Amino acid sequence: MKSTKPDRRRFIITSLLFVLFLCVLASINQARFDSLLKFALANIPSKSSNLSSDNLIASSSDDIRILIGILTLPDQYNRRHFLRLIYGTQSATGARVDVKFVFCNLTKEDQKVLVALEIMRYDDIIILNCKENMNKGKTYTYFSSLPELLNTTDMPYPPYHYVVKADDDTYFRLDSLVESLKPLPRKDLYYGYVIPCPSMDPFVHYMSGMGYLVSWDIAEWIRESDIPKNHLEGPEDKIFGQWIRDGHRAKNRYNAKWSMYNYPEPHTGCTHELWPNTIAVHLLKTQEKWIHTLKYFNVTDNLKPSKLYHIT
């Protein structure tokens, strides 16, 4: 009977030590678990790091983001389908280039059906709140609408580094365009083909309407400033240059001449022969001119061989 008390005391002490050991072990494992959990959470990619809206998905934060807005008319269905082939078969290394077709409000019932089908299929159309025009403010509406349309919290800022206004008879070679932009500033930039044709000084006049580019901050300035609002009518490219001049914008300017030019025929002071270092060719008014240009640049060289077709 006397031996049971020490045994009971020893059992209690042993049990308490064992419980204490379990508590220490549990706290160590909890600390390790917490550290592991923090590490895992810290390395889960954030949804906000992906540009998930309007197909604006960049493969790298260093990639240049470019919006090419092709100003056209609602009824130009065939031209849009053709240009989708032209730009859909191009790729640009180190850049995300989105091509959108831009026009004013639809006015006919067939447009409302056919354009809606295009949007459902391609999602590459911007319809501005304006009456269709060429030199009465359409270009202003295009640039001034972009910040409101595209500045959202689920996309990076700016959504595009550069915004292009292009004609639908201009052919841009995207890789060449991107390569020319890589060394240039991403702010306060005005880029294009200097008018008049003999001029090489981008600070004297303005960039041709064939296709000019500005950095995103200039698009935001156009939206906010009274200078463009009070001067809308006139040749759109010339008026745009006047805005830039009056607003003391675009301390960075780039003359892409002679990599941008008009189609060789008919010959003028703004034309020269097609050549390999081309960024853009303008005034492709006919199918024949387009075909000649596309053949010169060997755009079908990457066609994969197949038993399903024979093209020689």
CATH H superfamily, domain 64-296: Spore Coat Polysaccharide Biosynthesis Protein SpsA; Chain A (3.90.550.10)
pLDDT of residue 155: 82
pLDDT of residue 14: 65
Domain ranges of the chain: 64-296
pLDDT of residue 303: 93
Question: Does position 42 have pLDDT exceeding 70, yes or no?
Answer: no
pLDDT of residue 312: 75
Residues 6+ apart with CB under 8 A from 264: 271, 272, 273, 274
pLDDT of residue 17: 64
- The pLDDT tens digits for 58-92 are 345 689 999 999 999 999 999 999 999 999 999 99
Q: Looking at residues 195-204, what average pLDDT do you find? A: 95
- The pLDDT tens digits for 86-113 are 999 999 999 999 999 999 999 999 999 9
pLDDT of residue 40: 38
Question: Does position 11 have pLDDT exceeding 90, yes or no?
Answer: no
Question: Does position 192 have pLDDT exceeding 90, yes or no?
Answer: yes
Give, in order, the Cα–Cα distances in Å from 295 to each of 50, 157, 290: 37, 39, 9
pLDDT of residue 13: 66
pLDDT of residue 48: 30
Please state the pTM of the whole predicted model.
0.80
Question: Does position 239 have pLDDT exceeding 50, yes or no?
Answer: yes
Confidence grade of residue 126 (pLDDT, cut at 50, 70, 90): very high
pLDDT of residue 10: 66
